[in-house]
Amino acid sequence: MKPKVAEVFYLLLLPIIITISTGWMYNFNGLYGQDAHAYFGYALELSSYFDGGAFPSHFFWPIFYPLLGASLSYLFGHTLIMLQLVSALGMGLTTYYSYKLLHLNIKKEKYVPYFFVFLVLCPIVLKSSVLTMSDILCIGLIMGAWYFAFLFDKTKNGWQILPTAAFAILAINTRYAAAVLLLVPMFVILKNTIQHKKWIQLALGILLIAVLCIPHFYFKSNDPVGFVGHSWLTNWSFLNLFKRNFDTAEGSFSYLFPNIGFVFYAFFHPLFFSLGAILIFFIHPKKDFNSQVYVAIGLAVYLLFLAGIPYQNKRFLLLAMPFVGILFLEPFKRFFKLIREKFKVEMLFFVVIIFSQFGVFTYSFLTVLQRNKLEKEIAYVVSKYPQKHLYGFDMDVSLNSYGCDKKIHNMWVEEYPKFTRNSLVIFNEEKFAQQWKNKAPMNNWKLMNDKYEIREVDKFKEGWSLYELH
């Protein structure tokens, strides 16, 4: 197989095939948790609108992921499958452009197997790629923007501004946090534009950005910049780097490590890379980071941004993984050299890594499968009840995805002064009691118990119960 063809196959096509095969192997439909159902629900609204239906409701998060899925489903049908296909495409883009970015500076050596093992089989990346969520597509778009920005820096071809602009704005319209990771490529573009006077290409790039933003302003015309008021941004603080307890609109949280420790999970936590904790000892900071100074700066800025947010979520570290992979390459080479020359078990070494990566993925994915099964079970049971109204939180978002026709009232959105009698309630008191103490979900639950008759009618796993409210 020719080198170029091999790159496309192993780093673009094979990751897509593995992602699709993994979802099929586990008989998984991609739906897990509130965000996945929200993306699916909005994609259904967009698909309906394309067919002449009502204008879609307000959607807080960026729209490119569900818009792309809805556009494909308009052409081919099967909205949920199309969203999964978009996630699989994001996996291919991530590995391909991460490798191409590194290869701009390293021409003589090929590291296809390394990127395949590090990114495609990274447990948290592989898990993200089979979910109906925007993360993996965003990573692929970010890496595309980085690659074309540095291709411009290397070749001085100003037309590289256009794909950089396209990838960058689409990444931001997929996940707003991408803007932080795009600061470095934007700096590179501006620096080279000024140095080489590529004003026409820059103007066309800005025009392209404006055109690609039209869907955002069209579907979010009532609140196009509402995301800047999110509590994670308004409560960002340098002091949060050293905190591990937070009380926010999203609940009360207590973590094992302060934020400054949490962001380094991307380097040593087995969910990210099984060898990470070992490779740390093979890092030569000055040599390794100087050779990839822009990557190191971009990663540092993003991790600093995450450390200032009053919340910890391993999902947020996903966007950092290609950059960690690039910085880990030299330490990996040193460790692999030791394995090859001293122990002479290089093939066994890769087999062990592959099985350990996939083993961690399988273990972590069991939680996803259990939640997915529970969501289906609860939706099926709730649908059998005659009541028209349902109050709930967390689990309520999944009900519509499985055809439940109840009018759903979210207990987090507001504190209700009164409730509709003869309604259903899906709630998990044990799960929410501490995190949501003195906040809307628990205050609503308290009012229901104090002022109404509430009777348990069905019980599910993991502490969930269905109640009738009278």
Condensed to tens digits (0 to 9), the pLDDT of residues 336-391 reads 888 888 888 888 888 899 899 989 999 999 999 999 999 999 999 999 999 999 99
Q: Are residues 336 and 427 in the same domain?
A: no
Q: Are residues 315 and 396 in the same domain?
A: no
Q: Cβ neighbours of residue 375 under 8 Å, at least 6 residues apart?
A: 31, 32, 37, 395, 398, 401, 402
Q: Are residues 322 and 463 in the same domain?
A: no
The domain total for the chain is: 2
Q: Are residues 389 and 328 in the same domain?
A: no
Q: Are residues 292 and 380 in the same domain?
A: no
Question: Residue ranges of the chain with pLDDT lower than 50?
Answer: none
Of 318, 344, 367, the residue at which a domain comes to its end is 367
Return the pLDDT at 287: 80
Of 367, 393, 409, the residue at which a domain comes to its end is 367
Q: Are residues 32 and 96 in the same domain?
A: yes
Longest dimension (CA), the chain: 74
Of 367, 389, 424, the residue at which a domain comes to its end is 367
Q: Cβ neighbours of residue 148 under 8 Å, at least 6 residues apart?
A: 160, 163, 164, 167
Q: Are residues 79 and 189 in the same domain?
A: yes
Q: Are residues 51 and 87 in the same domain?
A: yes
Task: Confirm if 114 and 99 have CB atoms less than 8 A apart.
Answer: no
Task: Confirm if 199 and 189 have CB atoms less than 8 A apart.
Answer: no
Query: Distance between CA atoms of 276 and 284, rounded to whole angstroms?
Result: 14
Q: Cβ neighbours of residue 457 under 8 Å, at least 6 residues apart?
A: 385, 466, 467, 468
Q: Are residues 295 and 409 in the same domain?
A: no
pTM of the predicted structure, to 2 decimals: 0.94
- Give the residue ranges of DSSP H helices in 156-254: 161-172, 178-181, 183-196, 199-212, 214-219, 231-234
Q: Are residues 399 and 416 in the same domain?
A: yes
How would you classify the pairing of strands 251-254 and 245-248?
antiparallel
Name the β-bridge partners of 455: 468
Return the pLDDT at 1: 56
Per the structure, the complete domain to which residue 423 belongs is given by 371-469
Q: Are residues 273 and 396 in the same domain?
A: no
Q: Are residues 346 and 412 in the same domain?
A: no
